[in-house]
Structure 1
């Protein structure tokens, strides 16, 4: 059996002060030998510093079962994790909430980090969250930036790593706008499918809501 990361619900709720959105994504993990885990991760737009949260649950109903909680933060050019005492979410496969010390002493902690790495690699909402953590910038044509046109081409430059979002109009570098990639996804979640675009590749689609094709 191949490893499966199955995306579940995405819950989006305005913050109490209505200055941002609290996002929580849920899903299930199935390992190659049928190992099960449930997960939830989330972030709050407008929060400073940019720190995301994660819960991984294993062994529901078993003596060694538990729910592990961690924070995710920017580290150098990527991200890192740190166990925390703070409970984030309850997940179906989880058991009792573990403190950071209990989690560090747990024999299944390597499995939990393995699950976490696969979730971050394969859940499209995790790509979105990672771009938020890293503050990834992108150049958008004026028409896309002002939401007059949908994004029809996404490019990830090989030279400088810059992302570009282009609509139906010809791209004019003199009128392009610089913004954050995660804000573009806030407005158009169909971009989730191309947030893992490798450097040197670009993706196109014939119209809003149509499938993306990735090109060299």
Structure 2
């Protein structure tokens, strides 16, 4: 009984309906340089999440990590847990509100 209580509590802390180990795209600027997440997209064609810094990127900048990893870097992305496929969210800084738009 004690273990199931712990599991239920941990599920509540992870807000996404996707599993924590869902593969997502991010960039080296966020993973290596600790830049903030300023752009999020939930792709319409495949449902893939992208968490980016808002700068220009090359293929070499791409990283595949888990959704849980990105959530642990920045809990404010949890506010986007219901972002529909085909939409994106942007902000100017960590202190700004997300602006949501259709892709």
Alpha-carbon RMSD: 2.3
Whose RCO is larger (CA < 8 A, sep 6+)?
Answer: 2
SS of the aligned residue for 1:127 comes to coil
Distance 1:146 1:212 in 2: 23
Aligned residues: 97
| Preserved CA contact (<8 Å) 2:29 2:35 | yes
Which one has the bigger helix percentage?
2
Structure number with larger C-alpha Rg:
1
Q: Counterpart in 2 of 1:156?
A: 42
Give yes or no for contact 2:29–2:61 (8 Å, CA) kept in 1.
no
TM-score (norm: length of structure 1): 0.40
1:127 aligns with 2:15: yes
Answer yes or no: is the 8 Å Cα contact 2:89–2:98 preserved in 1.
Answer: yes
Q: Distance in 1 between matches of 2:83 and 2:32?
A: 24
Change beyond 3 A, Cα 1:148–1:134: closer
Higher strand share: 1
Q: Which runs of 5 or more residues in structure 1 are unaligned?
A: 1-23, 25-40, 44-51, 53-122
Pairing 1:141–2:27 present: yes
Q: TM-score, normalised by structure 2?
A: 0.79
Runs of 4+ residues over 4 Å off in structure 1: none
CA deviation digits over 1:161-182, x for unaligned, max 9? 1111110421223320000111
Report if aligned partners of 2:40, 2:89 keep a CA contact under 8 Å in 1. Answer: yes
List gaps (5 residues or longer) in structure 2: 1-5
